[in-house]
């Protein structure tokens, strides 16, 4: 036992010595890099290479940038979290502008569904890591910057060590838990943050923690928690896969992130504001002035609850704070059927009083129903069902007396036909089944069930030719 304790103590001592040596080497490297830069500056009349003057010349003659601004960009280090619809155009324009170091954080791989909006990726790179695909394109665009890949999903344990090496952070992610993590880490490490989001035809943009003063300093810029102290309900969160996205909308927000990043790096801070973009509105943009830091903010106030210690120890649970986004199972096993069972029932041509034909209700929105639909299915969008003002919602009510306007006539004219409800992923269909049963449509033993996994599962186990969108 004593020998093991001695071995452990010896190893700890060697680790300490090695870490100290590594720190000295880092300092020597920084000194050498500074000396090399100074020597290069003395060897020429100009602070940049000839090719850089030609490359950035039209940017440098803009008064707000100039040569001083270009040199600031050249020496800056920017981290982009997310190499998707926002991160791709942001990285594209920051690399083109001559930012000295660009880091990309993303743990996903390129999928064909990304290509209509994630402009750094190509068809040939489907299946490739997004950070590698993006950097491959960026190097072809501009070989001067240093590109650093962080091929993993951001975690509270890793975020501080990654952020520490950069001057500015861009939040190009698409879920609340990661947004709070990014903002908290940026505040604790005193990094300004450019945050944006986009869904369907709308987007939002804001610059946070600018100026990046320590927690407790009211002169610092507000953080994400100051603007959104409470996360949205998990059931209200839509991803691009569920809600849809128009490519130029998310591209617009990503380009604006790059523009705000250039402003942060080259100009004094401006008053905080939330900019809202709506592609089908006039005007396209409107801005809301933001207040300064909240005195009771959990991270940037004088009495913060979130610290680097709570972050790295895991005691700050972002998934718990934002709530689970996993779909709940609202129905029992006898209220759900498999896609195979649905296919067998819908394919049967035999019907009788004891075996009436089925009624299939598709509760996707009409725009999705028009893309593809099951044979003989009836479209009743879930939004229509949920917004119905019908008061006939008690369990024992009789829909024949006062049916809600959205109820298909086939349901009342064929009172014994089983009702199968389907949606895209098997979530909204459960809600619809509960609603139909609340109307009393299952009286007399009528079967009302949903198709588990929705049309995605139907494609996977029944019809591989079903369109994937």
Active site residues: 240, 423
Cβ contact 98:144 at 8 Å: yes
174 is in an annotated binding site: yes
CA atoms lying within 13 Å on the CB side of residue 365: 5
442 is in an annotated binding site: no
172 is in an annotated binding site: no
122 is in an annotated binding site: no
Q: Which residues contact 355 (CB under 8 A, 6 or more apart)?
A: 348
251 is in an annotated binding site: no
> Counting beta carbons within 10 angstroms of the beta carbon of residue 317, is it exposed (0 to 12), middle (13 to 18) or buried (19 or more)?
exposed
Cα dist. 192→92, 99, 195, 271, 450 in Å?
Answer: 20, 16, 10, 13, 48
Neighbours of 255 (CB within 10 A): 17
Neighbours of 95 (CB within 10 A): 25
> Counting beta carbons within 10 angstroms of the beta carbon of residue 361, is it exposed (0 to 12), middle (13 to 18) or buried (19 or more)?
buried
Residue 134's closest CA among 161, 103, 178, 158? Answer: 103
For 393, the 3-state DSSP assignment is coil
Cα dist. 66→41, 46, 53, 73 in Å?
Answer: 19, 14, 11, 11
> CA–CA separation, 134 vs 143, rounded Å?
13
116 is in an annotated binding site: yes
226 is in an annotated binding site: yes
153 is in an annotated binding site: no
447 is in an annotated binding site: no
300 is in an annotated binding site: yes
Adjacency order of strands within the sheet including 77-81 = 146-150, 101-105, 77-81, 168-171, 193-199, 202-208, 273-278, 285-289
85 is in an annotated binding site: yes
DSSP 200-242: BTEEEEEEES-S-PPTT-TTSPP-HHHH-SSPPPGGG---HHH
150 is in an annotated binding site: no
Q: From the annotation, which residues make up the binding site for ATP? A: 85, 106, 113-117, 130, 174-175
Q: From the annotation, which residues make up the binding site for Zn(2+)? A: 223, 226, 297, 300
Q: From the annotation, which residues make up the binding site? A: 85, 106, 113-117, 130, 174-175, 223, 226, 297, 300
């Amino acid at each position: 036992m004593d020998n093991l304790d001695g071995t452990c103590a010896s190893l700890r001592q060697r680790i300490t010595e090695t870490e100290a040596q590594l720190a000295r080497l880092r300092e020597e490297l920084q000194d050498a890099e500074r000396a090399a830069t100074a020597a290069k500056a003395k060897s020429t009349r100009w602070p940049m290479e000839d090719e850089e003057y030609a490359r950035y010349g039209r940017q440098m003659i803009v008064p707000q940038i100039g040569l001083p601004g270009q040199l600031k960009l050249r020496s800056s280090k920017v981290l982009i979290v997310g190499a998707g619809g926002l991160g791709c155009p942001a990285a594209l324009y920051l690399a083109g502008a001559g930012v000295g170091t660009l880091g990309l954080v993303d743990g996903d791989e390129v999928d064909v569904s990304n290509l209509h909006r994630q402009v750094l990726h190509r068809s040939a790179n489907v299946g490739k890591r997004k950070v590698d695909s993006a950097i491959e394109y960026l190097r072809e665009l501009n070989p001067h910057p240093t590109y650093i890949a962080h091929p993993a999903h951001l975690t509270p344990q890793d975020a501080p060590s990654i952020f520490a090496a950069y001057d500015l952070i861009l939040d190009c992610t698409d879920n609340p838990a990661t947004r709070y993590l990014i903002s908290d880490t940026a505040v604790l490490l005193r990094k300004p943050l450019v945050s944006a989001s986009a869904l369907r035809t709308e987007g939002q943009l804001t610059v946070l923690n600018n100026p990046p003063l320590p927690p407790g300093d009211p002169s610092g810029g507000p953080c994400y928690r100051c603007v959104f102290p409470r996360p949205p309900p998990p059931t209200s969160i839509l991803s691009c896969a569920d809600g849809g996205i128009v490519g130029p909308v998310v591209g617009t927000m990503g380009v604006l992130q790059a523009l705000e990043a250039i402003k942060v790096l080259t100009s004094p801070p401006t008053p905080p504001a939330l900019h809202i973009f709506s592609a089908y509105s006039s005007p396209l943009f409107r801005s809301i002035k933001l207040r300064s830091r909240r005195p009771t903010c959990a991270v940037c106030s004088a009495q913060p609850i979130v610290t680097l210690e709570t972050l790295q120890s895991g005691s700050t649970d972002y998934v718990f704070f934002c709530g689970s986004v996993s779909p709940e199972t609202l129905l029992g096993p006898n209220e759900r059927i498999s896609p195979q069972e649905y296919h067998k029932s819908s394919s049967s041509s035999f019907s009788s009083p004891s075996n009436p034909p089925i009624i299939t209700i598709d509760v996707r929105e009409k725009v999705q129903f028009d893309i593809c639909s099951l044979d003989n299915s009836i479209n009743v969008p879930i939004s229509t069902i949920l917004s119905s003002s019908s008061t006939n919602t008690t369990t024992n009510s009789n829909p024949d007396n006062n049916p809600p306007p959205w109820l298909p006539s086939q349901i009342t004219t064929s009172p014994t036909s089983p009702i199968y409800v389907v949606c895209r992923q098997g979530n909204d269909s459960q809600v619809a089944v509960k609603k139909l049963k609340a109307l009393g449509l299952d009286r007399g033993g009528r079967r009302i069930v949903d198709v588990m996994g929705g049309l995605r599962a139907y494609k996977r186990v029944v019809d591989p030719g079903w369109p994937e969108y």
